[in-house]
Chains A and B, each alone.
Chain A
Amino acid sequence: MLTYITRRVLASLLILLGASFIVYMLVAYSGDPLQDIRSSNLPGKEARMAARTEALHLDVPPALRYFIWLGGAVKCVVPFVGQCDLGVTLQNQPVTVALSAAIPTTLQLVTTAAILAITIGISIGIVTALRQYSTLDYSVTFVTFLFFSLPIFWVAVLLKEFGAIKFNTFLYDPFIPNSTILLVSVVAGLLWAVILSGSWKRRAITFVAAFAVTAGIVYFLSVTRWFSSPSLGIAVILVTGVAIAYGSTVLFAGLRNRRALYSSLIMVGLGGVAYYALQPLFDRATLWLIVGLGVAAIAAGWLVGRFMGGYDHQQSSRAAMLTSFGVASLVLLDQFMRNWERYASDPHIRNRPIATIGAETPGLNGDFWITGIDKYTHLVLPTIALILISLASYTRYSRASMLEVMGQDYVRTGRAKGLSERVVVTRHAFRNALIPLATIVAIDIGALIGGAVITESVFSFKGMGVLFLTGVKEHSPNPVMGVFLVTGITAVVFNLIADLGYSALDPRVRVKA
């Protein structure tokens, strides 16, 4: 195993060297980095050209200049050799500084989108695989193909127009006209009817019920102007919490397992108590406090499951942990919502909360909740765009993988020996279906880090994509190489993780030593 890893790492280093040389030469020969000074008529032209030539070593031919760059770059990768030096940009800013500002922005954008896309994509894929050839399956197949074919910049511009500009205008007076209520309810009814399926009679009942409930809720939201001062309130949290408790019990233990159900319900009760008990703490919230509370919530779930569960306490723990996490998220969401009005009326926001560009509102000062909301309102549109684009492939992959597994002999054996369908699906099929997905996800994450170039440029996120793009446009190799170093190394590392992970997850696969 160690031999294998060493060999892979050595090969990867060679690959990175070769690729970085090619990229450097391509950028260096793509054009003249002095162009903007050459075409300007400002005084001191010669001196500025000389200064830039000096800073970028433009007097050295590109092939040799690469080795100057490499000499500095090696110090970044190998520890304790010296100061990390990736050269400077055309604006004479060190690339290391520019990169360290850009990486967090990109990570922020990409992580949320990746986590959500993977979770949603895999869930949809599994459900469609379990209901192959149903209306749901066909609709999802079509929709994923459609998403797969959407150019991200087009989606982004549409989102800006309808998700931000029109939505902000709507927020001035959040009154929903009757025709919209009708339309939304019909769509919701159809959606539920397709998802729950069954006989025509059952579908009709589902449709009518979903239609009525949605119409009622939307009408209520409209009349109470909920959107201008949103909140969930304890009642909604508890009702949703109970639903989550039942859902997670069904998923992890089955409703027959009363202990698991009761542990989940206890967690909902605890969440309700915490909702009131923690209010004073929330007023002085920091990021670490929230993270700590989240961890505490999950730990409490584990403990409750441990004490309630008796013989098979792991199932109860899992169900309780998921419920606890869900309720904690609801409480957190409610806190953010309570601060929404304060945020929207801030003079920097001027009641147009959903942002179309940038990663944060410049000059906005506020506590944890205000800056948090600010972050989310900036992230929401690019995240939606990224999710829409990458959802398709995860759905397709997980569907294919699940179908493959459901046809295996051990699934038939599981059914034959009388296991319930829930156990067959979650224990035998689902876990094995995740194995090939793990490698795809690892490789995708490696690619995603640098893959949000277009999204970043549409939404003016000052991340690595924009750094890269400006470098390419200005024919300045240093920032391009900086970004390339980050993306190249992540891609190579995640490829290795994917291969090792596969052999760890599937004992039938062994790496060649």
Chain B
Amino acid sequence: MTTILENTADVPGGKPVLPEKPEETRGLSQGQIVRKRFFGHTGAVVSMFVLALVLLLSITAIGLGPIPGWWKYDYTQTPPLMNGGHPTLQLFPFSLGDHPFGQDRVGRDMFAMTMRGAQISLFVMIVVGAIAALVGVLIGASAGFFRGKTEAVLMRFTDMVIIIPALIAAAVVAQAAKGPALLAIFLGLVSWTGMARLVRGDFLSLREREFVDAARLAGASNRRIIFKHILPNAVGVITVNTTLLMSAAILTETALSYVGLGIQNPDTSLGKLISDNQAAFSTRPWLFWWPGLFIVVICLTINFIGDGLRDAFDPRQKKLNVRRVKESPDRPQEQGVPANRKPSEGGPSSALSSGYLENLDQPADGGEGNEETQR
């Protein structure tokens, strides 16, 4: 509970919501509130299911490492061409057929290759996200917390890494070792900069708060203050930025593979599949559609999840929620709905919609809401 109060204390108008409704004073932790809001965001929830489905499909279909999957072909096998390699997928009545996504010029099964590509892309995405988040948080947190010389050195270092193009790192990896893991690690090592800047900004303001002073008075060590007191308050920024990092990572990886600097033969990735097959667009368009579709789906779902998370963590929303909830006091379960209808930004904006003026004319809550916003 204290965390929430702290969190909203300096946001203009973003007053703590929960204590104002007596029947809801039963404390909710920040995690619970965030979860509730997140699950109210239809786009994000649907995206999460779709992403999970893609992940599950790509892993189970061709298996992972030594574990075999349920699909009969591997991405390296070259079964004989059937019917010119046309896709056999049928939606109605649903049947996969022999080669649901078709075959390429030499007969390799496109479904297996796409699944392998999706696996690689998801793997790269997760590793890049994890590494970049870890490095970015560490550097940003130390710079923001210790300030002074530490900050100067760390932030100049960040500025330096920002202007190093990711292509270079990838080119080195493409030479040094041919593997997605190393590529992902190197990409992660050049893409943490935005995260570091954001976390530093958050830490700079959070370290001046009373609860940090209180913790220090109580004898907490620097490490404890950083990890137990400040970091949990910055978790919103970190989570949201990690999703953005991940969606950027998947596009970078596919772009690198497309220009021949990413995943190398014999392994494959979604970007490489498109690159290999773009010349055959007029003769075998399916070779081109499926990998592209998978990239778009993965990236789109990640972006929507990020949007949902941003809504869920954004403290400015609470103001809007109060009003909406008060308009329908008999339906408390609607609390999640405004969050769901809210794209990322702008709690304060409720003033702009004509709804605000109408509210003043016919206050559904007997004018109660106005007192609260002024209190």
Contact = CB atoms under 8 A, between A and B. Distances in A.
Interface of A: 11, 14-16, 18-19, 22-23, 26-27, 29-31, 129-130, 132-133, 137-138, 141, 145-146, 148-154, 157, 161, 165, 396, 399-400, 403-404, 406-408, 411-412, 450, 453-454, 457, 468-469, 472-473, 475, 480, 484, 487-488, 491-492
A149 B303 contact: yes
A406 B341 contact: no
Interface residues of B, number: 52
Contacts of B353: 132-133
Nearest to B173: A30
The binding surface of chain B is classed by DSSP as helix
A407 B351 contact: yes
Contact of B346 (A16, A138, A403, A484): A403
A407 B274 contact: no
B352 A30 contact: no
B186 to A, nearest CB: 10
A23 B296 CA distance: 31
Interface string B145-180: 000000000001001111111011101101110000
Given A153-B275, A407-B347, 11 more contacts: A23-B168, A27-B171, A27-B172, A30-B172, A148-B247, A157-B274, A406-B352, A469-B167, A487-B163, A491-B163, A492-B163
A145 B163 contact: no
A277 to B, nearest CB: 47
B339 to A, nearest CB: 13
Nearest to B338: A133
Interface in B247-267: 247, 251, 254-255, 258-261
Given A19-B164, A23-B168, A154-B274, A407 B156 contact: no
A400 B255 contact: no
Contacts of B303: 145, 148-149
Decide if the interface of chain A is mainly helix, strand, loop or mixed: helix
Contacts of B174: 30
B304 interface: yes
A145 B159 contact: no
Contacts of B156: 11, 14-15
Interface string B290-304: 001001100110111
Nearest to A400: B345
B155 to A, nearest CB: 10
B349 A453 contact: no
6 contacts: A129-B352, A130-B352, A157-B274, A403-B348, A406-B348, A407-B348
B349 A407 contact: yes
B168 A472 contact: yes
Nearest to B172: A30
Contacts of A403: 345-346, 348-349, 352
Nearest to B288: A157
A472 B167 contact: yes
A399 B346 CA distance: 9
A47 B349 CA distance: 72
B292 A129 contact: no
A327 to B, nearest CB: 34
A215 B307 CA distance: 38
B350 interface: yes
Nearest to B299: A149
Contacts of A408: 348
B164 A153 contact: no
B159 A399 contact: no
A473 B255 contact: no
